Amino acid sequence: MSKKGYLYRYLLLIKKLKMNPYSSFEELQRYIDQQCTYLLLQDDRLSMGFSKRTLQRDIREIRMLFGLDIAYSHAQRGYHICESSAENRNFQRMMEAFDVFNSLNLAQDLAPYLHLEQRSAQGTEHLYSLLHAIKNRRCITFDYRKFWDETLSQRHLEPYALKEFKSRWYLLGKDIRDGRIKRFGLDRLTRLKISENRFVYPEDYNVQQSQRYCFGIMGATGDQPQEVVLSFVPFQGNYIKTLPLHPSQEILVDTSDELRIKLTVYPTQDLLMELLSYGPRLKVLAPEELVAQVKQAHQEAFNRYGI
C-alpha cells in the first residue's frame, strides 16, 4: 500500500472512533470500506479491508505518530480514544485538516464556489515522505536555506516530529552533525532524500512534552517557562476566548472592561511578535522584562512616524 494509503487509514480510524466511541473491530472495518468507496479511493488494498493484526499495528503507530492512545474496553466491547488524548488540541486540529482535505478532494469540480487564500508553497509536499521517515526510523538528508541567509547547506537529520504554526509546517529532529535538536521550515527545504540508515528513536523524547511551554516554533531558550499575564480589551477578548493563544491559557478576569489571561510559556521572539500584533488592544502586565520589551517596540514604532 502507498504511504498515502495507510496514513489515510490511520485518520479514518481516528475519525470513526471520535464519532462513535466503543466501535468493534467489525464496525471499524466496515467504516473504512464505506469511506474508501465514498471517497473513490484508488488504493485497492485499502478498500479490501484489513485484519485485526493490522488494526493492532495501526493503534501502535497512531500512538507514536499522533500521540493518541486508543484502547479496547471489555465493558463496552469496543475500541475508544482515551480521554486524555481526545482533549488534545493537536488531535482536534488534525481532524479539521483531514476534513478540509477530504472536502477539497471531492470539490475539484467546484472551483467557482471556492475562494482560497493566495500564498506561496508551504513545503507540504514533503509531509508524506517525512511522516514515512519518522515512522520507519529513517535518517534523512536535504538542502536547507535559512530565512536570513541565501546560501544552501546540506543537512543530515534524525527526524522526530512535525509541527504546525501559523499555517506553516516545521520539522523537528536531531542534527547528526552536532547532536542538537533543531527545527526546519518545510517551505525552505529542498532535495529531500530518505536514507537507508536507520536511527533509534530516543525513549526520553516526547514531542508534546518538549513543546509544552513553547509558543511558536522557537524552542526552549534555556530559561524557565514564565507566567505571562495579558489584559485584552473586551472585543479582542472574545476572539481570545474562542481561539486561545496557548494550551496553558487560563482566564483570570472576564468583565465588561477587560479579559485578563495567564500563559505559561518561554519568552521567545515569536511570543513578542504575536503580542505586538495586537497593538492597542492588548496590555502586557507581567513579567517585567516582557513589559519593557513591548513598551520599547511600541516606542520605536511611534518614533518612526517622527511625531
Partner DNA sequence: GGTATAAGTAATGAGCTGGA
Partner DNA sequence: TCCAGCTCATTACTTATACC
Query: Do residues 215 and 263 make contact, with C-beta atoms less than 8 angstroms apart?
Result: yes
Closest approach of DNA to the CB of residue 15, in Å: 17
Among 34, 37, 38, 49, binds DNA (CB under 7 A): 49
Backbone phi, then psi, for 252, in 5-degree steps? -95, -45
Which residues have CB under 8 Å from 22's CB, separation 6+? 73, 76, 77, 78, 79, 80
| Cα→Cα distances 10→14, 65, 268, 273, Å | 6, 10, 34, 36
Closest approach of DNA to the CB of residue 69, in Å: 11
Should residue 269 be labelled a site residue for DNA when binding is judged by CB under 7 A? no
Closest approach of DNA to the CB of residue 13, in Å: 12
Closest approach of DNA to the CB of residue 212, in Å: 26
How many positions of this chain bind DNA (CB under 7 A)?
Answer: 33
Among 34, 37, 38, 51, binds DNA (CB under 7 A): 51
Q: Residue 104 is inside which H or E element, if any? A: helix 89-106
**Torsion angle in degrees (nearest 10) through CA of 129, 131, 137, 143:** 50
Should residue 59 be labelled a site residue for DNA when binding is judged by CB under 7 A? yes
Should residue 289 be labelled a site residue for DNA when binding is judged by CB under 7 A? no
Interface segment toward DNA; rule CB under 7 A; list 46-54, 90-98, 108-116, 241-249: 46-54
In the DSSP assignment, the letter for residue 23 is B
Should residue 132 be labelled a site residue for DNA when binding is judged by CB under 7 A? yes
Query: Do residues 157 and 139 make contact, with C-beta atoms less than 8 angstroms apart?
Result: yes
Residue type, 190: T
Q: Which of 230, 233, 215, 231 shows the shortest CA–CA distance to 269?
A: 215
Closest CB to DNA among 60 and 298? 60
Among 19, 40, 53, 167, binds DNA (CB under 7 A): 53
Range list of β-strands (E), the chain = 70-73, 78-81, 138-145, 152-165, 168-175, 181-185, 189-198, 226-232, 250-254, 259-265, 282-286
89's grid cell: 488540541
Which DSSP string corresponds to 5-73? Answer: HHHHHHHHHHHHHHHSSSB-HHHHHHHHHHHHHHTT---HHHHT---HHHHHHHHHHHHHHH---EEEE
Closest CB to DNA among 60 and 191? 60
Should residue 52 be labelled a site residue for DNA when binding is judged by CB under 7 A? yes
Closest approach of DNA to the CB of residue 59, in Å: 7
Ranges within 177-206 binding DNA (CB under 7 A): 196
Among 34, 37, 38, 45, binds DNA (CB under 7 A): 45
Should residue 296 be labelled a site residue for DNA when binding is judged by CB under 7 A? no
Should residue 226 be labelled a site residue for DNA when binding is judged by CB under 7 A? no
Helix (H, G, I), strand (E, B) or coil at 258: coil
Should residue 141 be labelled a site residue for DNA when binding is judged by CB under 7 A? no
What is the per-residue binding string for DNA in 83-122, x denoting contact by CB under 7 A? ----------------------------------------
List contacts with DNA (CB under 7 A).
Answer: 1-3, 5-6, 9, 24-25, 43-45, 48-57, 59-60, 71-72, 74, 77, 79, 132, 135-136, 138, 196
